[in-house]
Amino acid sequence: MLTPRHQALVATLAGMTVGVAVFGTVLAINGNFSGDGDKSGQVVNSQPTQTPSSGDGLQAASLQFTSQPFGSESRPATADVPTGWKSAQDGTRPKYVDPTGVWQLRFDTRGSKQTPAELVDSRARSIEEKNLKIISRDNGTLVYTYDDQTRGPRMGLSSFLPTADGKRTKVEITVGGRPQDEAGLRAVLQRATDTLQLSGEEDTRPN
């Protein structure tokens, strides 16, 4: 017959056995119980920018934005850029690309003496891409698609913003992606346009 001390010890061991069994079951359910150290069940922080897939397009609702400075010392500028997109080049022609390289946003703050409409027509004539198709060229914005040899079907939107008198162009904003990304690309372009802050002396190039 077990003494009270022995009975307590047996009860403790039984409780530990049940606890280990339950703990092992929980780990197995969560996918963390693996003899080879698999960490597939760990929580990974989500990226602020949507990750592209073969079928889904860039969704405007998935975007977050961060203000970015660029331009030159004599003409500094800032605008909102999708969070997570990295600067591929800076200065007066900064370019921001998402981590996968599928989407991009570019600014050109050098200005031009041509009107936005003139620059839209000029750009449409100068693009040398396979299967180029001009979708629209309204209100100083050129929308087009083409086929890239490496990346497949692509879409570009180039917007030329006028000066206050409308006779010249102060900046160009271009976004690029795939045709199925059009809604998201338009959202990026609109946000960049709405938040653009450009100061300093305007360029006096003769073009």
The closest of 142, 156, 64, 61 to 106, measured between CA atoms, is: 156
Lowest mean pLDDT among 50-54, 111-115, 125-129, 148-152: 50-54
CATH architecture classification, 60-198: 3-Layer(aba) Sandwich (3.40)
pLDDT in tens, 36-48: 333 333 333 334 4
183, 196 Cβ separation under 8 angstroms: no
- What is the spatial distance between Cα 143 and Cα 133, in angstroms, rounded to a whole number? 9
SS3 56: coil
* 3 pLDDT above the threshold of 90: no
Q: What pLDDT, in 10s, does the model give residues 49-71?
A: 555 554 589 999 999 999 999 99
Q: Residue 204 above 80 pLDDT?
A: no
Residue 121: pLDDT over 50? yes
Give the pLDDT band of residue 16 (cuts 50, 70, 90): very low
Question: Would you state the pLDDT for residue 132?
Answer: 97
pLDDT higher than threshold 70 for residue 104: yes
* pTM of the predicted model as reported, rounded to 2 decimal places: 0.72
pLDDT(120) > 60: yes
Residues carrying CATH 3.40.1000.10, the chain: 60-198
> Rg (Cα) of the chain, in Å, rounded?
28
Measured distance CA(82)–CA(67) in Å, rounded: 9
Inform me whether the pLDDT recorded for 32 exceeds 70.
no
